Amino acid sequence: MKILQINASARSQGANSTRLADGITARLKAIHPAAVVELRDLARNPHPMLDEPALSALFTPADQRTPEQAARVALDDALIAKVQSADAIVIGVPMYNFGTPTQLKAWIDAIARAGVTFRYTEKGPEGLLTGKKVYLALTRGGLYRDTPADTQAVWLKTVLGFLGLTDIEFVYAEGLAMGAEAARKGLAEAEAQIEAIAG
Ligand SMILES: Cc1cc2nc3c(=O)[nH]c(=O)nc-3n(C[C@H](O)[C@H](O)[C@H](O)COP(=O)(O)O)c2cc1C
């Protein structure tokens, strides 16, 4: 079993989302002791954003790319290969301004590739990253779970589902900026959700 863990917080030290993602990975390792873990910390090692040079590299046929364009596409190819080979994907995601950190958007932009991780058929789009389990550790300063303002969770479910990653378990730690007692409660609830993961 291969576990791919993505830490999306912009801080590489002291991030609650990373601590919870570490907890989920530890729980999966306890259930599957032979599991191999691959870690990508997007704070320390961010993926480049989808800018104009990246787009033009992607849309240039492989045999016509410059060495720079080939190198840029190879960075995305490497992320896609990691996701394709993973059985479980654990992502620690803080809420930033109702969305995700830019670093996670860049990672998702890189793994969404037509003809590789999704395709369009006569019946509509089809996700090609099937048969994997995804665990999302969502941390928030406020309380948004199951409210219309929680567009972050809806977007993550939609875009990951579009790629075939439909089996998603959400772990929420909310109220982390609402005082010590609220933060303690939010983290304790998340830890209880992690304890209940059946793998
Ligand atoms: C730039 C920034 C934007 C944030 N935006 C929101 C927000 O829109 N809603 C919210 O509930 N919390 C927001 N927060 C609070 C974080 O979601 C919360 O502190 C979270 O635990 C941070 O994750 P981390 O500990 O993994 O770094 C924001 C924090 C930062 C630093």
User: Do you know the residue count of the chain?
Assistant: 199
What is the three-class DSSP state of 156?
Answer: helix
**pLDDT tens string 40-87:** 999 999 999 999 999 999 999 999 999 999 999 999 999 999 999 999
N-term to C-term CA, the chain: 11
Q: Are 81 and 39 in contact (CB under 8 A)?
A: no
What is the three-class DSSP state of 36?
Answer: strand
User: Cβ < 6 Å from ligand 1: which residues?
Assistant: 9, 11, 15-18, 94-98, 139-142, 176-177
Per-residue tokens: 190: 């998340």
Per-residue tokens: 16: 């609650």
**Ligand 1 atom 12: the closest Cα is on which residue?**
141
Residue closest to 176 by CA, chosen among 165, 164, 163, 188: 188
Distances (CA, A) of 64 to 41, 68, 115: 32, 11, 19
Distances (CA, A) of 15 to 20, 175, 180: 9, 15, 16
Residue ranges in the chain modelled with pLDDT below 70 = none
Beta strand 118-121 pairing with 88-94: unpaired
pLDDT of 199 reads 80
Q: Residue 75, by phi and psi: left (phi above 0), alpha (psi -120 to 50) or beta?
A: alpha
Residue closest to 90 by CA, chosen among 30, 161, 13, 25: 25
Ligand 1 centroid vs 123 CA: distance in angstroms?
39
What is the three-class DSSP state of 184?
Answer: helix
**Ligand 1 atom 23: the closest Cα is on which residue?**
94
Q: What share of the chain is helix, strand, coil (3-state, %, to 5)?
A: 40, 20, 35
Which residue's structure tokens are 């010590």? 180
User: Ligand 1: which atom is nearest the Cα of residue 92?
Assistant: 26
pLDDT of 78 reads 98
